[in-house]
Chains A and B, each alone.
Chain A
């Protein structure tokens, strides 16, 4: 029983990063009704950029690497918007799907090129702290990951529901034409959505690097798959859904990793997704239409 609780809590804490990735997918889908396949790659790319740029300058503390990743993620988000969405007409829904796949491959290859394919050690904070409750422990670095993720989510929700930009974003998500008629610049809102999603993604990439201890370009594909799974389980376009689903998937996969082994783990995650598609195709929080 203790094993079970320990595994579950570690998984849920790590699941916060899945939640962040899921939010990024869901945010872009909610506003533009498009999939950004490059999102997880851009997140890992942001985390790398934060690390490599700062490492080139000087030895810096972990929090500055996180901040660098956050900012670099935002810039990459904007870059993805310009190269993969801005110039492609809305009437061809397949084209951005393909261009973002191209971007995914490109980011992967740039990372491989810059690091010679070697995994890079990522700095962590509080990795020597261990909260003990008898036999039950909570890893300090995972708690920090969870804490930062929660703060980022609160920040995002505040931005969406308490600011003019958030109001504009929600207006474009609901009715792009009506929003445009009210004087909202739709392309600007779209670009800003990508920047915001990118900021969250860069942070998520850094947190994943910190809790795994290293970053590798091999992370991008599994993260893309997990992010999409989280998005669908949570309900497309639903931010609370993505948060709950991220934590759920994190806990679920850690349990199966513990009891069924790492090679079978993801098979059960896919089965969980299929169960949702069959019994609750709208996800945890279905969009009201």
Chain B
């Protein structure tokens, strides 16, 4: 049973990561910085519970807020550029953050052992759940409370005026601007909400793996973040969830019996999926 709880935890955390990219993609922006906000949430929440002895919930709140603040700060200069330029700008920012954590040491002695982030060695022993005796099932439920809350929020956004505004910017910027929508404000707000979601997801990730290091937050994770909503389609939040289940449960876990060949099939299936369903598995039909 623990195996399925573990899988549900992974799916939950990746769903949060995918949803953080989903809201940014709605405005037509491709951001490869989501892994960076995820990393910021992971390191800050981990440091708060391990070094400052906080409870995990306020620590996640701070991680999420730091993700949002960073996203807002990056969004300002980065959203001046479009298309490929934005992809590269956010990619560079993400790599910059990763390299920052690669060079980041902040350790304190606690009960005879030194804890905290240690550059390339990573940040070990984020054991809040273990120290407080949470079972795998409880951790899974805790993660899914966040996932469901975020999905409900985004689902409600989609049905509100705000969602219509986001999509109108994504469909046609000139038309949106001509009816009086402030493009920068809309994109920046989407970026900030995305940063908050990624920050919370990162905090959960740090506590569930107990060991994070800079290499976890590389370009590959950033591409996965945008891959989920793109593969799932941008019509609803459930597309992202379906894509995460498709990738994590089917491609990663379900094909494990194929051994080495699984990784080969992985890339090929993504190519095939995009050729057959260019608007995503659950996107609109036709052009």
Dominant SS at the B interface?
Answer: helix
Complex CA gap A139/B230 in Å reads: 46
Q: How many whole Å from B31's CB to the nearest CB in chain A? A: 12
Within 8 A of A (CB), among B245-287: 260, 263-264, 266-271, 274-275, 278-279, 287
Number of interface residues of B (CB under 8 A): 45
Known: A35-B87, A224-B219, A277-B78. A102 touches B270 (CB 8 A): yes
Contact of A98 among B103, B219, B270 (CB under 8 A): B270
Q: How many whole Å from B21's CB to the nearest CB in chain A? A: 11
Q: Does B92 contact A (CB under 8 A)?
A: yes
Asked if A278 and B103 make an inter-chain contact with CB atoms under 8 angstroms apart, the answer reads: no
Asked if B99 and A270 make an inter-chain contact with CB atoms under 8 angstroms apart, the answer reads: yes
Nearest neighbor of A272 in chain B, beta-carbon distance = B92
Nearest neighbor of A89 in chain B, beta-carbon distance = B287
Q: How many whole Å from A258's CB to the nearest CB in chain B? A: 17
Contact of B218 among A110, A221, A231 (CB under 8 A): A221
Within 8 A of B (CB), among A45-104: 83-84, 87-89, 91-92, 94-99, 101-104
Cβ–Cβ < 8 Å partners of B275 in chain A: 83, 87-88, 99
Asked if B95 and A106 make an inter-chain contact with CB atoms under 8 angstroms apart, the answer reads: no
Asked if B88 and A104 make an inter-chain contact with CB atoms under 8 angstroms apart, the answer reads: no
Q: Does B89 contact A (CB under 8 A)?
A: yes
Asked if A236 and B92 make an inter-chain contact with CB atoms under 8 angstroms apart, the answer reads: no
Asked if A270 and B96 make an inter-chain contact with CB atoms under 8 angstroms apart, the answer reads: yes
Asked if B81 and A281 make an inter-chain contact with CB atoms under 8 angstroms apart, the answer reads: yes
Q: Does A197 contact B (CB under 8 A)?
A: no
Within 8 A of A (CB), among B98-142: 99-100, 102-103, 119-120
Known: A87-B275, A89-B278, A224-B219. A270 touches B93 (CB 8 A): yes
Contact of A109 among B80, B85, B96, B264 (CB under 8 A): B264
Nearest neighbor of A265 in chain B, beta-carbon distance = B99
Known: A83-B275, A224-B219, A236-B84. A106 touches B287 (CB 8 A): no
Asked if A102 and B268 make an inter-chain contact with CB atoms under 8 angstroms apart, the answer reads: yes
Q: Does B35 contact A (CB under 8 A)?
A: no
Cβ–Cβ < 8 Å partners of A263 in chain B: 99, 102-103, 119-120
Report B64-105 CB contacts with A as 1/0, cut-off 8 Å: 000000000000011011011101110111011001101100
Cβ–Cβ < 8 Å partners of B231 in chain A: 98
**What 7 A-B pairs have minimum CB-CB distances, sorted nearest first?**
A106-B267, A102-B270, A105-B267, A95-B278, A99-B274, A92-B278, A270-B96
Using CB atoms and an 8 Å cutoff, list the residues of chain A in contact with chain B. 29, 33, 35, 37, 83-84, 87-89, 91-92, 94-99, 101-110, 112-113, 221, 224-225, 228-229, 231-232, 236, 263-264, 266-267, 270-271, 273-274, 277-278, 281
Task: Knowing that A267-B99, A277-B81 touch, tell me 10 more A-B residue pairs with CB under 8 angstroms.
Answer: A83-B275, A88-B274, A88-B278, A89-B287, A97-B230, A105-B270, A113-B263, A225-B219, A236-B84, A263-B102
